[in-house]
Amino acid sequence: MSRRGPAAAFRARTRRAAWALPLLLSRAACAAAPAGQGKHASPTPPGTVALGEGAWLLPGHYAPPRQPDGNSLLFAGPGGWLVVDTGRHPGHAQAILAAVHDSGRPIRHVLNTHWHLDHVGGNPALRAAHPGLRVLASPAIHGARTGFLAGYADQLRGLLAAPPAGVDTDALHAELARIEAGEALLPDEAVNAGGGRELAGRRVQLGLAPDAVTAADLWLFDPASGVLAAGDLVTLPAPFFDTACPRGWSAALQALEAQPFTTLVPGHGAPMDRAGFVTWRGAFESLRACAASPAPASDCAEGWLRQAAPLLPDEAARMQARALLDYYLAQVLRGPSALRHCADAGERAAAARPAR
């Protein structure tokens, strides 16, 4: 991305429906999940979609120019609730709290798949309502707070100092406050390796993907429901490359496909079955190969639209995917950002570890 003032950069991000900061625009409204996936231990919580045995989806939403909330997953266990990702805005966090309220059971664990604000922004609200909960996440957020998020905060302050015409300054203040929540965003337990865990009394499998969408992404597979929470390792209507290393991401997708899931929930977009994920992964690999070739960027974007067509429900999704890919191909996949995210992986991993 060319160097420009923060106001011009803000307008450009809005115009492209993409951005060089963690605004992660996506078509996040989810369709109903596949039916007939087992009996449920509890009634469906309000505002959620049943996925399988004791597992529900609280869909994320994106209504431009408002920034998105990622998808959240709720798992009911003997010890209470396990929540995967907490969204960005207060309304999303309140929807999580409302969904579990009538059960009379506490939220015991929160798992953040990665540090982007639309997946961790609700952590403070859930902590306040359920003081005993424990947040699990990779340690990558420590490096992000002093690097990527610090830079984003500086740009927000610049926008607030001289707001462009028509910009919602209240939204900018709220976004800056999310970053400045600081310690309340951090995990109580850093997950440094995958493996079996018992969370809220429910036995799950965690996976750690280094240098994928971020310096370290987590995914969760719940054998009881067959649900795989992929975070932003899978997103619709297109992959989000802003903080990504495509090589590591490709390896992470291979690990996801090895899991015996029946329903995969992406970080943004509608749940998909195994065939849908195979389609998504194939389109991703073709896009990655095309981006590394001398082919015109328009051919690469059209290739994604063609291969991922079964997962793009309407023309609006296709238009947004095209806008995102036009930006990513020009500014990230074929620009210096891709080298930055991949070449210094060792330094980023060291930065992700908390200071002793």
Q: What is the pLDDT of residue 61?
A: 87
Q: What is the pLDDT of residue 66?
A: 80
**SS3 call for 263:** strand
Of 73, 66, 58, which Cα lies nearest the Cα of 112?
73
Contact by Cβ (8 Å): 281, 253: yes
pTM of the model: 0.85
Q: Strand ranges (DSSP E) for 3-102? A: 49-52, 55-58, 72-77, 80-84
According to DSSP, the residues that pair with 207 across neighbouring strands are: 219
If you write DSSP's letter for every residue of 198-215 in order, what string do you get? EETTEEEEEEEEETSSSS
| Tokens at 268, concatenated | 């943004």
pLDDT tens track of the chain, all 356 residues?
Answer: 222 333 333 333 333 333 333 333 333 333 333 333 334 346 789 899 999 999 999 999 877 678 899 999 999 999 899 999 999 999 999 999 999 998 999 999 999 999 999 999 999 999 999 999 999 999 999 999 999 999 999 999 999 999 999 899 999 999 999 999 988 999 999 999 999 999 999 999 999 999 999 999 999 999 999 999 999 999 999 999 989 999 999 999 999 999 999 999 999 999 999 999 999 999 999 999 999 999 999 999 999 999 999 999 999 999 999 999 999 999 888 876 555 556 444 434 433 434 33
**SS3 call for 74:** strand
Those residues with Cβ within 8 angstroms of residue 116's Cβ, 6 or more apart along the chain or in another chain: 22, 24, 70, 214, 232, 243
Contact by Cβ (8 Å): 98, 63: no
Q: What is the pLDDT of residue 23?
A: 35
Contact by Cβ (8 Å): 37, 4: no
Identity at 174, one-letter amino acid code = A
Q: What is the pLDDT of residue 62?
A: 74
Q: What is the pLDDT of residue 42?
A: 64
Of 289, 290, 284, 224, which Cα lies nearest the Cα of 256?
284
Those residues with Cβ within 8 angstroms of residue 206's Cβ, 6 or more apart along the chain or in another chain: 111, 191, 194, 195, 196, 197, 218, 219, 220
Domains and CATH numbers, the chain: 6-352 (3.60.15.10)
Q: In what order do the strands lie in the sheet with 107-111?
A: 49-52, 55-58, 72-77, 80-84, 107-111, 134-137, 189-190
Phi/psi for 273 (5° steps) reads: -85, -175
Task: Kindly state the helix (H) or strand (E) to which residue 148 belongs, with its residue range.
Answer: helix 148-161
Computed on alpha carbons and rounded to an integer, the radius of gyration of the chain in Å comes to: 19
Of 183, 215, 241, 12, which Cα lies nearest the Cα of 114?
215
| Tokens at 348, concatenated | 């980023």
**SS3 call for 28:** coil
